[in-house]
């Protein structure tokens, strides 16, 4: 499943619904589904809040979901200003800590061509959780 959209508040629920639909079709267990819904929401919100400066016209947000070898992989990708320490969000700063607590493994890296950020989250669909 791959969804490309604009990074906006109204698209965060859409991204979550798309991932939910993918997981339900793949019969992912309920608790893993719940954790996946929260993780993808937090990752998309991070893109919304951090990736783009307010005057940026193009604000792509991509969400991919796939399953291989009993593991669900979610990728949330932007083409923004890259990872850094931002103190301008006014949020709790809980997004990445939550994702780290919920997923079996997380990697955060620069996007293709060094542009933007990719958050890759893996979840064990056998029902085990790291939290």
Partner 1 sequence: VADDQITVDRVDSVAVVAMAGDHDVFTAPELRAAVNRPLERSNAVVVDLTNASFIDSSILAVLLGGLRRARETDVGFGLVLDRERTSAVLRILEVTGLVPVFPIHATVGEAVASAAAGENGDGGPRS
Taking CB under 8 A as the criterion, the residue among 27, 68, 85, 131 binding partner 1 is 131
Residue 31 in 3-state DSSP? helix
Contact present, 123 and 32 (Cβ < 8 Å): yes
How many chain residues are in contact with partner 1, going by CB under 8 A? 24
Give dist(CA 89, CA 77) in Å, integer. Answer: 19
Strands 105-110 and 60-68: unpaired
Task: Single out the segment in contact with partner 1 by CB under 8 A; choices: 8-16, 51-59, 60-68, 75-83.
Answer: 8-16
Does 36 bind partner 1 (CB under 8 A)? Our answer is no
CB of 70 to partner 1, least distance (A): 22
From 26, 13, 2, 9, select the one nearest 123 (Cα to Cα).
26
**Interaction of residue 21 with partner 1, rule CB under 8 A:** no
Q: Is 13 in the site for partner 1 (CB under 8 A)?
A: yes
Q: What is the rounded distance in angstroms from the CA atom of residue 9 to the CA atom of residue 62?
A: 14
50-109: which residues touch partner 1 (CB under 8 A)?
90-92, 94-95, 98, 101-102
Instruction: Verify binding: residue 12, partner 1, rule CB under 8 A.
Output: yes
Residue 123 · residue 74 · CB < 8 Å: yes
Length of the chain: 131
Contact residues for partner 1, defined by CB under 8 A: 9-10, 12-13, 16, 31, 34-35, 37-38, 41-42, 45, 48-49, 90-92, 94-95, 98, 101-102, 131
């Amino acid at each position: 499943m791959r969804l490309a959209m604009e990074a906006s508040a109204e698209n965060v629920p859409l991204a979550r619904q798309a991932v939910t639909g993918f997981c339900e079709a793949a019969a992912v267990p309920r608790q893993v589904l719940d954790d996946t819904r929260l993780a993808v929401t937090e990752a998309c919100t991070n893109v919304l809040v951090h990736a783009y400066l307010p005057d940026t016209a193009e604000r792509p947000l991509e969400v991919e979901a796939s399953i291989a070898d009993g593991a669900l992989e979610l990728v949330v990708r932007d083409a923004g200003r890259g990872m850094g320490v931002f103190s301008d969000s006014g949020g709790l700063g809980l997004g990445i800590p939550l994702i780290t607590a919920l997923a079996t493994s997380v990697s955060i890296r620069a996007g293709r061509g060094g542009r933007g950020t990719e958050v890759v989250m893996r979840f064990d669909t056998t029902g085990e959780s790291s939290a």
